[in-house]
Structure 1
Amino acid sequence: MTLRRSRTRCARHTPPVPSSSVSSGSMSLAAPAHDAAAARPRNVLGAVVRRSCLPLAVTTALVLTAQPAAAAPAEAAPDTPATTVPSDPPTETDRVIVKFKDTAAPETTKEKVVETAAEDALDGARAPEATEHVKTTAGQADVIKLDRELDEGEQKKVLSEIQADPAVEYAEADRLATTSWVPNDTYTNFQWSLWPNQGGVDFTSAWDLSRGNGQTIAVLDTGITSHGDLNSKVVPGRDFINDTDLSRDGNYRDANPQDEGDWSGAGECSPAARPSSWHGTHVAGLAAGVTQNGAGISGAAPGAKIQPVRVLGKCTNGWVSDIADGVAWAAGAPVDGQPANPKPSSVVNLSLNYPGECGWTMQNAINTAVNRRVPVVVAAGNSAVNAGGTAPANCENTIVVGASDNNGNTAGYSNTGAVVDVLAPGGTGQFPMLSTVNAGTTRPAGATYGNMYGTSMATPLVSGTVALMKQRDPAITPARVEQILTSTASGRLGSLNLNPAAAVRAVAPTSFSASGGIGAAWRATGGAARWGNPVMNEANAADGGRYQEFVKNGRKVTIYWHRSTGAHIVENGTVVGKKFISGGRERGYGFPSTDEMRVKGGAYQVHRKGASVTKVLWSPATGAHAVKETGAIGGAWKRAGYEKGWGWPTTEEYRSGGEVQQKFSNGVTAHWTSQRGVWTTR
């Protein structure tokens, strides 16, 4: 597919740089001054870099000399970028995402549905044909490539027609997303954003409470490059770009998230050629760069790890379906055709955006992460408009970050509106954000440092704050994280500016123990190594019982105890566990009298409520259903040989024509009436 862009070239007017002040390719960073005379960083050249529009490149030759407080910078041009840089991705697309109700239907059948809908929708125009089944998403939707691009009007018609098909659950366009960044070529000699007396926010006090130890921040971006301020913090990530037009590594998804460069030649993404930005490396450094190593920069969460997930490639673009799969994978959820994440992240950072509504694919991925207690932090965008029109900022269950300048005011470029939860320092043309980058103009070269500004830079500061909070309470819910961030916000705007120290202080550190029958069952079955640590104290359950929850890598189990059953484990995330939860937990089926048992062909768990015994059974072909073993139908099922006789239950018990019935996988329908008892039909 040809990527089409429009871009205005920039005229930059930079004052001459004294040769003694230039550091090419590397730098040493002076310690930040904290006295009144150096309370605010100045443009290191003592002058203003004036622009007629946004620059196209990130600088890699840094000037780092402090300026006296009296040397106030000259008045700059208004900091109101006309567009996000790189420019907004195209609105045309040649890919659609379709979730079919029967996910196992043949690919040819699915493609036929798309082609027929296109023919009906585009009367008089050439209807596109399906040329490729690109992949299946984490949410079991199909990404189908067409033989031509559809404009926005055509997309609306075709998607509406696809959605009308009774075989379809939902349909949406697969769009290209891009980053929320504004690169800059001025320099600072320290990270003003981390120091409250220099126009930043109070990370220093937050670090007295937490460093983010034990937490991992997933950076979904252009990938990462080798850097001394990052390498020791990086855990295994993944390249999720499934399009060789964008990937630049010549292959599809793999285990190497290295940034291959997002550079572009003249006419590819803009009229002029553009070097690589190393955007993901810059974001990673702001989030959790190595701290207290005597060189370089400090990350917002000094003790946290970084998990790079590459979703943006050439032209800094990436497909929404790839990004959504990256979100799910980073949170530890299964993704079709991909290995399990060996170290699921604690928080997901999305310093990217795309225009339009939040579709099902992205929303489902975000919900998947949030359901695993992994907050998703997203950039508001840099177009100085209402962020409600920009995704994923307008997705539900996200923490949306706008950018502030060095005075705590909303930066002129930042998107705003009701969906924005908090502002964090994002910098401006005069006061940008210093972080890790690479010296290469196209492919990676040497490690260095550079400046950028934008909501992309504000977002990792909030993700770092979330990591600090989660060290204090690893089981804290994303909703609670969002509520704390907004309720503790302060600053010149009253209740919008990020306050890391107050947010961390508001999270009570957790230290729980497991004792008695629940503790004994926990230790006997593997303890913390298998189930994780307790995230709450033991609490009352129904009918005199007790329960306690444990979490490991986002996976929760609940151990229930009752005097009639003893202590047993419910695995909340399995299909059997979810069936127990949806059935009302112990108030529905009763207390578990076994742990979940894996058997040939499926799994089951038995529950007891007084004299009533209910077995929840699951197989891949039938799903999860309950059999009332102490009931008439359940008793007959047992006598017939359990699942080896009638088979696995395919329904619950239900009433039909004055009878109670239940169906089983071996073609048996069991019937019961009070007059006749139990009989079967096939």
Structure 2
Amino acid sequence: MGALVRRAVLPLAVTAALALTAQPAVAAPTNPAAGPDAPAATVPSDPPTESDRVIVKFRDTAAPEAAKEKVVDTAAQQALGDSKTPEVEEHVKQTTTQADVIKLDRELDESEQKDLVREIEANPAVEYAEADRLASVSWVPNDTYTQFQWSLLPQQGGVNFPAAWDMSRGNGQTIAVLDTGITPHGDLDSKVVPGRDFINDTNLSRDYDLRDANPRDEGDWSAPGECSAGARNSSWHGTHVAGLAAGVTHNGAGISGAAPGAKILPVRVLGKCTNGWVSDIADGISWSAGAPVAGQSANRNPAAVINLSLNYPGQCGTTMQNAINTAVSRKVPVVVAAGNSSVNAGGTAPANCANTIVVGASDTTGYTAGYSNTGAVVDILAPGGTAANPMLSTFNSGTTVPGAPTYGNLYGTSMATPLVSGTVALMKQRDPGLTPARIEQLLTSTASGPLGSLNLDPAAAVRAVTPRTTVQASYTAAGGIGSKWHATGGAAKWGNPVMNEANAANGGRYQEFVKNGRKTTIYWSRSTGAYVVENPTAIGSRFISAGRERGYGYPSSDERRVPGGAYQLFRNGSSLTKVLWTPATGPHAVKETGGIGGAWKRAGFERGWGWPVTDEYRSGGEVLQRFSNGVTAHWTPQRGVWTTR
């Protein structure tokens, strides 16, 4: 839990109802209307995703090249079909580990590469296969001002976002920015989803109305004596924070956001004097997470993460804690600023609220910035800038009411917080089901830096998330496979289809399903009908390593659990194979239509000779197989089957 906050500029406001006002976690701006005056250097473009090469490690590395190429040709035929089957063009080389690099006569897209690799690896002669891909330097956006965003670039004293972007861009995620609202900006507009104004006080709202669907920042300026002794210009704080979190990226202009693929949900909770009531902020948190709020229309774009670059002195109250708990119960992490008063953040809310991820600010050396609050509630440090090295982001030229869009510099824990929120969005693209507690644990366990395990490492945090298989709702299961899927439990048992039904060997069909990362394949052939192969089980793994339907044939039963183990039947033409498994013996196949398998059946199956402890193997001109009850079966064409013990 925890968050970073900035130094409070105004004293605590207390009303007759004892409601508190919150302030943004931002230190004094440094020439906020001034953007950089030089363009960034040219950066390389993304490497292509297509490839016409495949790397294959054969178990017999000395096999003839023609035989190896035949394996790839056959796999291509099975995986991609007659109309678009690539052919082997040349054997390029053998790597230092004796894997073969084979070039095809056309490039394959990523989906085709996966299909081809799967088919190649199904061949028992293959140890592994993978696409050979062109690489480039880590993805760096081509935005004009990216080179001035030191916080995103480790070589400039920031953290390694480019390496994180190679794994995730935050696609499909939404970051709620609860702040002063947002102003129109070319580096924001296309990323913004419908937000809301939650300010329920016309003395603060500046638009002279109450809550509505317009989260536009009306300006938080103040006249002399209104909020402080002197006049204050508008901070455009929410616009700046939104750009740091998820500004439009790789469009050849402006700045880059921490989560380039994420959307922005603007929720206006701070108004005049940059103040906002805790009761309004709490409702904004609940609404952002998709929870119902009385009198407000439903949020059709619930956030994946909530950013609170704000704070107020004192302890976390029940109202704020309940709102945070509501978000967390919906698996929406709440990332908050530690504050900028150079004190223990344990005395500042919402940094001291439970179930939060608290962010402190670091400078270009990775050490805690002088203004940042510290203490045990701070979970992680992220670049927040200093007066000498502030943070560049989207801004507005207006001194009071909104003017033209521009870029400006601010620094504070307010600026550090959206970098962490952006990192969370990158993590949740890889696994949208991550809980807030797990996200906090991954952020802190992957942190590093000069202060030990405290500095944000976005690349390490993203890498630590195991990607969850994406299920596309457009896939459907029909026909014999669909009937089998529905009859045996459907999505509740096997998950949803992750591909359309496709051709298998010898005129059959197959379709894959995934539930909680566990893959199941349902096969159908005219002679067997449809049956399930549970890929992760020992029997399923043995079926795959034996060549799938081209090895044992099509399943003619589902996997069946019996006392002591399990078995499954497979048919390949007139041949029937039973794969049996126990914890002690592992998975092994008995060829029931063969000589040894037939004798094993006549002897009483596993109740007679026992479970197979080997597959059939040759030795001294004989075919042999050993069984768990001490029986070794022998076979020759001349003698038939006999046993020894």
1:336 and 1:215 mapped to 2: Cα distance? 26
Structure 1's unaligned 5+ residue stretches are: 1-82, 96-172, 540-545, 547-682
| Structure possessing the higher radius of gyration over alpha carbons | 2
8 A Cα contact 1:88 1:354, kept in partner: no
2:515 and 2:202 mapped to 1: Cα distance? 45
Aligned residues: 378
1:427 and 1:330 mapped to 2: Cα distance? 28
8 A Cα contact 1:248 1:313, kept in partner: yes
2:491 and 2:449 mapped to 1: Cα distance? 49
1:297 aligns with 255
2:430 and 2:488 mapped to 1: Cα distance? 24
Alpha-carbon displacement from aligned partner over 1:253-291 (angstroms, at most 9, x marks no partner): 000000000000110111111110000000000000001
1:383 aligns with 341
1:92 aligns with 14
Structure 2's unaligned 5+ residue stretches are: 37-147, 472-476, 478-484, 499-513, 521-533, 535-645
Distance 1:372 1:519, change over 3 A: farther
- Secondary structure of 1:349's counterpart equals strand
2:178 is the alignment partner of 1:215: no
1:461 aligns with 419
2:160 and 2:11 mapped to 1: Cα distance? 35
2:428 is the alignment partner of 1:470: yes
2:212 aligns with 254
1:506 aligns with 464
2:19 aligns with 174
1:515-526 residue pairs with structure 2 within 5 A? 520=490
- Secondary structure of 1:183's counterpart equals coil
2:436 and 2:515 mapped to 1: Cα distance? 18
Alpha-carbon displacement from aligned partner over 1:170-226 (angstroms, at most 9, x marks no partner): xxx321111110132257740000000110000010000000000000000000000
1:433 and 1:93 mapped to 2: Cα distance? 35
What code does the residue aligned with 1:176 have? T
| Match of residue 451, structure 1, among 396, 409, 416 | 409
2:186 is the alignment partner of 1:228: yes
8 A Cα contact 1:89 1:177, kept in partner: no
| Match of residue 198, structure 1, among 156, 176, 193 | 156
1:631 aligns with none
1:486 and 1:255 mapped to 2: Cα distance? 36
1:88 and 1:516 mapped to 2: Cα distance? 63
Distance 1:512 1:458, change over 3 A: closer
2:274 aligns with 316
Distance 1:420 1:516, change over 3 A: farther
2:379 is the alignment partner of 1:421: yes
- Secondary structure of 2:370's counterpart equals coil
How far the C-alpha of 1:231 sits from its partner, in A, is 0.2
8 A Cα contact 1:181 1:455, kept in partner: yes
Distance 1:252 1:199, change over 3 A: same
Distance 1:195 1:524, change over 3 A: closer
What code does the residue aligned with 1:520 have? G
What code does the residue aligned with 1:484 have? L
| Match of residue 394, structure 2, among 436, 448, 469 | 436
- Secondary structure of 1:94's counterpart equals coil
Q: Relative contact order (alpha carbons < 8 A, sep ≥ 6): 1 or 2 greater? A: 2
What code does the residue aligned with 2:437 have? A
Distance 1:518 1:185, change over 3 A: farther
8 A Cα contact 1:512 1:535, kept in partner: no
Distance 1:512 1:410, change over 3 A: same
1:265 aligns with 223
1:359 aligns with 317
1:367 and 1:361 mapped to 2: Cα distance? 10
What code does the residue aligned with 2:193 have? V
2:411 and 2:318 mapped to 1: Cα distance? 30
Structure 1 segments of 4 or more deviating over 4 A?
Answer: 83-86, 186-189, 512-519, 521-528, 533-539
8 A Cα contact 2:6 2:412, kept in partner: no
Distance 1:404 1:428, change over 3 A: same
TM-score under structure 1 length normalisation: 0.53
2:385 and 2:191 mapped to 1: Cα distance? 25
| Match of residue 353, structure 2, among 372, 376, 395 | 395
2:455 is the alignment partner of 1:497: yes
What RMSD over aligned residues (CA atoms) do the two structures have, in Å?
2.6
- Secondary structure of 2:16's counterpart equals strand
8 A Cα contact 2:10 2:227, kept in partner: no
Distance 1:512 1:433, change over 3 A: closer
8 A Cα contact 1:333 1:368, kept in partner: yes
1:576 aligns with none
Distance 1:203 1:314, change over 3 A: same
2:572 aligns with none
Distance 1:380 1:517, change over 3 A: farther
1:538-577 residue pairs with structure 2 within 5 A? none
Alpha-carbon displacement from aligned partner over 1:37-85 (angstroms, at most 9, x marks no partner): xxxxxxxxxxxxxxxxxxxxxxxxxxxxxxxxxxxxxxxxxxxxxx956
| Match of residue 308, structure 2, among 350, 360, 370 | 350
1:415 and 1:86 mapped to 2: Cα distance? 11
- Secondary structure of 1:93's counterpart equals coil
8 A Cα contact 1:219 1:283, kept in partner: yes
How far the C-alpha of 1:527 sits from its partner, in A, is 9.7
1:405 and 1:518 mapped to 2: Cα distance? 58
1:39 aligns with none
Deviates further, 195-204 or 183-192: 183-192
1:393 and 1:279 mapped to 2: Cα distance? 19
How far the C-alpha of 1:446 sits from its partner, in A, is 0.4
1:229 and 1:286 mapped to 2: Cα distance? 11
Distance 1:502 1:521, change over 3 A: closer
- Secondary structure of 2:186's counterpart equals coil
What code does the residue aligned with 2:370 have? G
8 A Cα contact 1:377 1:400, kept in partner: yes
1:91 and 1:228 mapped to 2: Cα distance? 36
